A and B are shown apart, each in its own frame.
Chain A
Amino acid sequence: MTNDELIWRIAGGSGDGIDSTSQNFAKALMRSGLNVFTHRHYPSRIRGGHTYVEIRAKDEPVKSRGDNYNFLLALGDSFARNPQEEAYYGNEEIKPLTENLDELREGGVIVYDSGLLDASEIENFDERVEENNWHVYDLDLRGLAKEHGREVMRNTAGVGATAALLDMDLQYIEDLMEDAMSGDVLEANLQILEEAYESVNEDYEHTHDLRAPTGTQEEEQVLVSGSHGIAYGSLDEGCRFISGYPMTPWTDVFTIMTQHLPDMGGISEQVEDEIAAASLAIGASHAGAKAMSGSSGGGFALMSEPLGLAEMTETPIVLVESMRAGGSTGMPTKPEQGDLEHVLYTSQGDSNRVVFAPGDAAECYEQTRKAFEIAYEYQIPAIVIYDQKLSGGHQTVPEDVFDEEPNPDIGSVVTEEDLEEAVQEAGRFKRYMYDADGERGGVSPRSLPGQKGGNYLASGNEHNEVGHISEDPDNRVLQMNRRMSKLESIRDELAENADHQTVYGPEDAEYGILSWGSTKGVVEEAVDVLNEQGHSVKAMNVSDMMPFAKDEVTAFLESVDEALVVEMNATAQFRRHVQGQLGRFGEKLYSLLKYDGNPFEPREVVSGFESRIGDDADLSQYNVRIESATGD
Chain B
Amino acid sequence: MSAFNAIGEEREINRDEFTPEIEPQATWCPGCGDFGVLKALKQAMPEVGRTPEETLLVTGIGCSGKLSSYFKSYGFHSIHGRALPVARAAKMANPDLEVVAAGGDGDGYGIGGNHFMHTARENHDMTYIVFDNEIFGLTKGQTSPTSPKGHKSKTQPHGSAKQPIRPLSLALTSGASYVARTAAVNPNQAKEILTEAMEHDGFAHVDFLTQCPTWNKDAKQYVPYIDVQDSDDYDFDITDRSEASEMMQKAENALYEGEVLTGRFYHDEDRPSYQEEKQATGDMPEEPLAERYFDEDYEWERSYDLLDRHK
Do A and B come together as binding partners?
Answer: yes
In the complex, the chain A residue whose C-beta lies closest to that of B305 is: A402
4 A-B pairs closest in CB distance:
A288-B290, A283-B89, A232-B303, A450-B4
Task: Choose one: A271, A277, A285, A451; the contact of B4 (CB below 8 Å).
Answer: A451
Measured in the bound complex, the distance between the Cα atoms of B293 and A290 in whole Å is: 9
B89 surroundings in chain A (CB, below 8 A): 241, 243, 269, 279-284, 287, 291
**A287 close to B88 (CB less than 8 A):** no
**A451 close to B77 (CB less than 8 A):** no
**A287 close to B290 (CB less than 8 A):** yes
Q: Which of A232, A269, A284, A450 has the most CB of B within 10 A?
A: A450
B68 surroundings in chain A (CB, below 8 A): 457, 459
Task: Choose one: B4, B284, B287, B307; the contact of A267 (CB below 8 Å).
Answer: B284
B57-93: contact bitstring with A at CB < 8 Å (1 yes, 0 no)? Answer: 0100100001011001111111100100111111111
Task: Choose one: B78, B93, B278, B285; the contact of A284 (CB below 8 Å).
Answer: B93
A413-459 residues with Cβ-Cβ distance < 8 A to B are 415-416, 425-428, 448-459
A261-287: contact bitstring with B at CB < 8 Å (1 yes, 0 no)? Answer: 011111111011101110111111111
Contact surface of B with A, Cβ cutoff 8 Å: 1, 3-7, 9, 20-22, 24, 52-54, 56, 58, 61, 66, 68-69, 72-79, 82, 85-94, 96-97, 114-115, 117-118, 278, 282-285, 287, 289-290, 292-294, 298, 300-304, 306-307, 310-311
Starting from the known contacts A272-B114, A289-B289, A468-B69, 11 additional A-B residue pairs (CB-CB under 8 Å) come to A31-B311, A241-B89, A279-B89, A280-B86, A283-B93, A309-B82, A402-B302, A449-B94, A450-B3, A452-B53, A457-B77
Measured in the bound complex, the distance between the Cα atoms of B90 and A461 in whole Å is: 20
B90 surroundings in chain A (CB, below 8 A): 283-284, 286-287, 449
Measured in the bound complex, the distance between the Cα atoms of B76 and A592 in whole Å is: 47
**B86 close to A286 (CB less than 8 A):** yes
- Report if A195 contacts B (CB, 8 A): no
Instruction: Determine, out of A211-219, A324-332, A404-412, the stretch whose residues face the partner at the interface.
Output: A404-412
| A448-B4 in contact given A265-B292, A469-B77 (Cβ < 8 Å) | yes
**A449 close to B284 (CB less than 8 A):** no
**A427 close to B114 (CB less than 8 A):** no
B306 surroundings in chain A (CB, below 8 A): 232, 235, 260
Measured in the bound complex, the distance between the Cα atoms of B282 and A223 in whole Å is: 29
**5 A-B residue pairs with CB within 8 Å:** A236-B303, A399-B307, A416-B1, A455-B75, A457-B69
- Report if A228 contacts B (CB, 8 A): yes
Measured in the bound complex, the distance between the Cα atoms of B13 and A81 in whole Å is: 73
**B74 close to A273 (CB less than 8 A):** no
Task: Choose one: A271, A365, A408, A468; the contact of B24 (CB below 8 Å).
Answer: A468
In the complex, the chain B residue whose C-beta lies closest to that of A365 is: B303
Q: Chain A, interface size: which category? A: 35 or more
**B85 close to A222 (CB less than 8 A):** no
**A262 close to B283 (CB less than 8 A):** yes
Q: How far is the CB of B32 from chain A (nearest CB, A)?
A: 17
A451 surroundings in chain B (CB, below 8 A): 3-6, 53
**B88 close to A283 (CB less than 8 A):** yes
Q: How far is the CB of B107 from chain A (nearest CB, A)?
A: 13
Measured in the bound complex, the distance between the Cα atoms of B85 and A428 in whole Å is: 25
Q: Which of A306, A402, A453, A457 has the most CB of B within 10 A?
A: A457
In the complex, the chain A residue whose C-beta lies closest to that of B80 is: A305
Q: How far is the CB of B252 from chain A (nearest CB, A)?
A: 24
A277 surroundings in chain B (CB, below 8 A): 85
In the complex, the chain B residue whose C-beta lies closest to that of A27 is: B311
Measured in the bound complex, the distance between the Cα atoms of B21 and A404 in whole Å is: 48
| A448-B114 in contact given A228-B310, A428-B72 (Cβ < 8 Å) | no
| A240-B6 in contact given A267-B283, A455-B74 (Cβ < 8 Å) | no
- Report if A392 contacts B (CB, 8 A): no
Q: How far is the CB of B173 from chain A (nearest CB, A)?
A: 16
